[in-house]
């Protein structure tokens, strides 16, 4: 880059990173907004913004979207305010600012490069934080999120480059001005003749043109920095404010999904899990080999809800080996694991969470040549001593009474299901609207 032209290439890099980040954040926001109809939609999860849509409850982008880290103020708004909205506003500002620096070139004040350097590091800092959360908390990296991480890195690199170019130009201007100042000081001294100097850019006595130093760019007023910072803040929060103002009311949907008509089971067949800090009675129906049950349990734990629930646990294996409501198994092996849970007494939740953690391997083993014998072997290896209890008539009778409880309450053949008190949590509220819906139905969980 030639001297005196301003930080054009650094600004171009920052502009490219900002536009890329704008595209990824817009794609992520679009996916989030589509879910405001309380239905499940495909997600655009690609290293190219908006290129392809993915199905599945456990795709990396869906795990990220359903996590408590994808949105703010989830308890106040259904689904919360997605952080992609804040990224959208910030990247839009940086794209406009980088374009201004790019087009202004040498006319842009030096403080523009300083601001681009300092403020341009903030998206990168947020990206580093979110990347750590993805690695430590979620265990997956969604492609759209990675795209925003890369965009933030490009923006930050452009800002750092602009700052370094500004420093280089400042040093060059200082060096080119030093000989002229020295000669002027010598000519003005009390001793010795004054030697007239050729004007800058005019040939001297030897016929050679004197070098013209590049004019130094103006610094600009310090007041520009807080003004730009305020503009960045306004741009960042404006999309979120507009989104919040346009959200429909979901209050009418919260209590319209049914009641638990017979909350008690006369024979004591149901499991009872009550952590020390439990404040809210809840009834949860799960299948230990149901992927959606696993994801729902993980969301309850991640949001700090499960530890506050006085839970009545109803096992509902979607497996025809013990479930007479089904003609064929949806999750083969679920009956065996359900009986192992019933036989585990105080370790029931440990066995259930073990099944969740090893769900893919258990399902794959149940569908292989040896079938459910693989599941039996896995249970025997991890939880020895349960065989006699699992094969007993008492355990089969208890399992049957659980299923009868489900029929008596006229519940659908579906998992998971959750009741807060006797009010059913709608299936549509078990993902991004979970925190809002739970605290609407159970005020005790707000504390």
Q: Which residues contact 37 (CB under 8 A, 6 or more apart)?
A: none
pLDDT reported for residue 11: 94
Is 338 within 8 Å of 399 (Cβ atoms)? Answer: yes
Q: Is residue 255 part of a domain?
A: no
3-state class of 112 per DSSP? helix
Residues 372, 278 within the same domain: yes
pLDDT of 210 above 70? no
Q: Is residue 350 part of a domain?
A: yes
Residue range 113-129: average pLDDT? 96
Q: 406-425 pLDDT, tens per residue? A: 999 999 999 999 999 999 99
Please identify, among 231, 246, 261, the residue that sits at the C-terminal boundary of a domain. 246
Is 380 within 8 Å of 334 (Cβ atoms)? Answer: no
Q: 342-370 pLDDT, tens per residue? A: 999 889 999 999 999 999 999 999 988 78
The number of folded domains in the chain is 2
> Whole domain around residue 288: which residue ranges?
271-446
Alpha helices (H) along 223-302: 224-246, 291-302
Residues 164, 287 within the same domain: no
Residues 16, 125 within the same domain: yes
Residues 62, 145 within the same domain: yes
Q: Is residue 257 part of a domain?
A: no
Residues 241, 307 within the same domain: no
DSSP state of 43: E
- Could you give the percent of the chain with pLDDT greater than 70? 87
pLDDT reported for residue 195: 43
pLDDT of 57 above 50? no
Residues 232, 353 within the same domain: no
pLDDT reported for residue 199: 45
| pLDDT tier, 244 (very low <50, low <70, confident <90, very high otherwise) | very high
Q: Is residue 139 part of a domain?
A: yes
Of the listed ranges 76-85, 166-175, 298-307, 332-341, the least confidently predicted one is 166-175
Would you call 43 exposed, middle or buried from its count of C-beta atoms within 10 A (0-12, 13-18, 19+)?
Answer: buried
Output Rg (C-alpha) for the chain, integer angstroms: 33
| pLDDT tier, 209 (very low <50, low <70, confident <90, very high otherwise) | very low
Q: 72-92 pLDDT, tens per residue? A: 999 899 999 999 999 999 999
pLDDT reported for residue 6: 56
| pLDDT tier, 231 (very low <50, low <70, confident <90, very high otherwise) | very high
Residue range 94-107: average pLDDT? 92
Q: Please tell me the distance from the alpha carbon of residue 104 to that of residue 87, in angstroms, as a whole number.
A: 25
pLDDT of 198 above 60? no
Q: Is residue 256 part of a domain?
A: no
Q: Please tell me the distance from the alpha carbon of residue 289 to that of residue 331, in angstroms, as a whole number.
A: 6
Residues 363, 411 within the same domain: yes
Residues 331, 227 within the same domain: no
pLDDT reported for residue 171: 84
Q: Is residue 194 part of a domain?
A: no
pLDDT of 55 above 80? no
| pLDDT tier, 447 (very low <50, low <70, confident <90, very high otherwise) | low
pLDDT of 444 above 50? yes
Residues 229, 326 within the same domain: no
Which secondary structure element, helix H or strand E, spans residue 10, and what is its range?
helix 8-34
Is 231 within 8 Å of 374 (Cβ atoms)? Answer: no
Report cis status (omega within 30 of 0) of the bond before 171. Answer: no
Residue range 130-147: average pLDDT? 92
Residues 342, 281 within the same domain: yes
Q: Is residue 118 part of a domain?
A: yes
CATH code of the domain in which 383 resides: 3.40.30.10
pLDDT of 193 above 50? no
CATH code of the domain in which 34 resides: 1.20.1440.130
Higher pLDDT, 304 or 288: 288
pLDDT reported for residue 54: 57
Residues 341, 308 within the same domain: yes
The mean predicted confidence, pLDDT, of the chain is 87
Q: Is residue 260 part of a domain?
A: no
pLDDT reported for residue 392: 96
pLDDT reported for residue 44: 80
pLDDT of 185 above 80? no
Q: Which residues contact 55 (CB under 8 A, 6 or more apart)?
A: 42
The dihedrals phi and psi of 95, each to the nearest 5 degrees, come to -65, -45
Residues 237, 366 within the same domain: no
């Amino acid at each position: 880059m030639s001297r005196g032209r301003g930080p054009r290439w650094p600004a171009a890099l920052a502009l490219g990173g900002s536009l890329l980040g704008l595209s990824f954040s817009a794609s992520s926001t679009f996916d989030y907004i589509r879910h405001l109809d309380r239905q499940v939609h495909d997600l655009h999860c690609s290293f190219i913004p908006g290129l392809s849509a993915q199905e599945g409850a456990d795709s990396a982008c869906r795990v990220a979207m359903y996590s408590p880290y994808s949105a703010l103020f989830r308890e106040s708004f259904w689904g919360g305010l997605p952080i992609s909205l804040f990224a959208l506003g910030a990247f839009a500002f940086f794209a406009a600012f980088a374009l201004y620096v790019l087009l202004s070139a040498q006319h842009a004040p030096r403080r523009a490069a300083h601001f681009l350097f300092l403020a341009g590091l903030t998206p990168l800092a947020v990206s580093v934080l979110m990347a750590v959360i993805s690695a430590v908390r979620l265990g997956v990296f969604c492609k759209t999120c990675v795209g925003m991480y890369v965009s933030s890195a490009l923006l930050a690199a452009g800002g750092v480059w602009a700052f370094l170019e500004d420093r280089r130009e400042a040093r060059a201007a200082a060096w080119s001005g030093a000989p002229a100042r020295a000669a002027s000081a010598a000519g003005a001294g009390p001793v010795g003749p004054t030697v007239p100097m050729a004007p800058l850019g005019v040939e001297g006595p030897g016929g050679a043109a004197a070098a013209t130093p590049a004019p130094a760019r103006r610094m600009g007023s310090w007041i520009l920095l807080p003004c730009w910072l305020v503009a960045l803040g306004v741009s960042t929060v404006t999309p979120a404010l507009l989104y919040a103002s346009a959200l429909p009311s979901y209050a009418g949907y919260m209590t319209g999904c049914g009641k638990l008509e017979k909350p008690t089971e006369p024979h004591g067949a149901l499991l009872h899990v009550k952590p020390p800090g439990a404040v809210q009675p809840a009834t949860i129906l799960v299948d230990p080999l149901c992927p959606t049950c696993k994801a729902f349990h993980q969301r309850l734990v991640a949001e700090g809800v499960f530890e506050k629930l006085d839970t009545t646990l109803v096992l509902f294996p979607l497996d025809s080996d013990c479930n007479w409501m089904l003609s064929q198994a949806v999750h083969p092996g679920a009956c065996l694991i359900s009986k192992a849970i019933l036989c585990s007494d105080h370790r029931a939740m440990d066995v259930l969470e073990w099944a969740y953690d090893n769900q893919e391997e258990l399902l794959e083993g149940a569908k292989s040549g040896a079938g459910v014998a693989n599941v039996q072997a896995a249970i025997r290896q991890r939880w020895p001593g349960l065989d006699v209890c699992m094969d007993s008539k008492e355990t089969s009778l208890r399992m049957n009474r659980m299923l009868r409880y489900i029929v008596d309450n006229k519940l659908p053949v579906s998992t998971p299901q959750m009741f807060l008190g006797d009010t059913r949590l709608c299936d549509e509220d078990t993902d991004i609207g979970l925190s809002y819906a739970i605290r609407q139905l159970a005020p005790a969980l707000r504390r």
